[in-house]
Amino acid sequence: MPEPSAPAPAQIAAVIDHTALKPDTDEKTIRRVVGEALEHGFASVCVNPRWVPLVAAELAGSEVRTCTVIGFPLGASTTHTKVAEAQEAVELGADEIDMVIDIAAANAGQSAELQAQIAAVAAVVHASGALLKVIIETALLTQEAKELACRAAEAAGADFVKTSTGFAGGGATVEDISLMHRLVGGRLGIKASGGVRTYEDAVALLNAGATRLGASASLDIVGAGHNGSTSDY
C-alpha cells in the first residue's frame, strides 16, 4: 500500500480557516490575520461576529472567505438565538458559519431536537448562499453522541461537520476525524480544529479524512514562521 500523501504547504494553506477567536482580540490583530490570509491563500478568516463587517470589507474581491461562529463556544443558546445570530452574520457579510451544537442534547441522545436546531440554522445560512459547519465538540461527547451528532448534521443539511471549538479542553484527533470520515465522508466536508499547530498535525488529519483545518498557528503549519496569534483555536 502506498504511503499517505504529504501535501505541499500551499496545498494545506488552501484548506485552512485562519482564526482569531479569543475574546480580547483587537482590531490590529484582525487586520494582521486578514493580511496573512491574503498573502498565503488561506481558505477563510474565522472571527467572532463583532469583526465580520471589517473582515468582509477587507477580503472583498479576493478568494478568501469570511467565516464566523455562532452559539460559540458553549452551544447552549436556544435555537431562536442561533438562528438570529446566523441571520445577522450573513447579512453582515459572512460566507461561512460555524455553529456549536447543543452538546447536552447530543449526549442525551436527542437526535430529533439536534437535527431540528441544525436544520433551522441551515435554512437561514443557505438562503444567503453561505456554508454551514456544525461543531460537535468531540472532547465533550461520548462515542455514541459523536455518531449521533454527525448523522443529525447530515440529515439537517449541514455542509460540514467539525471537531471542536478549541475552548473545551480538547481538539482534533486522528481518531475522531477517521470516525467522522467513516460516517459522512464524501458527502459532507470534515473540519479538524483545536490544537492543529504543525505541518505534521495538518498532514495527519488530512490523511485521516479532514477536508478543512481550523488553526491560529497557520503560519507555523505552512512554514512561514510563528504568527504570534492570540487564539488557542
Residues with active-site annotation = 98, 162, 191
- 188 secondary structure, DSSP code: B
Phi and psi, residue 6, nearest 5°: -120, 90
Nearest to 211 by CA among 43, 50, 69, 81: 43
H-helix or E-strand spanning residue 189: strand 189-193
- 43 secondary structure, DSSP code: S
How far is it, in rounded angstroms, from Cα 129 to Cα 198? 32
How far is it, in rounded angstroms, from Cα 227 to Cα 28? 13
How far is it, in rounded angstroms, from Cα 12 to Cα 23? 27
52 neighbors 31 (Cβ within 8 angstroms): no
How far is it, in rounded angstroms, from Cα 206 to Cα 212? 8
How far is it, in rounded angstroms, from Cα 26 to Cα 138? 29
Nearest to 36 by CA among 7, 13, 11: 13
**Which cell numbers in the block locate residue 107?**
449526549
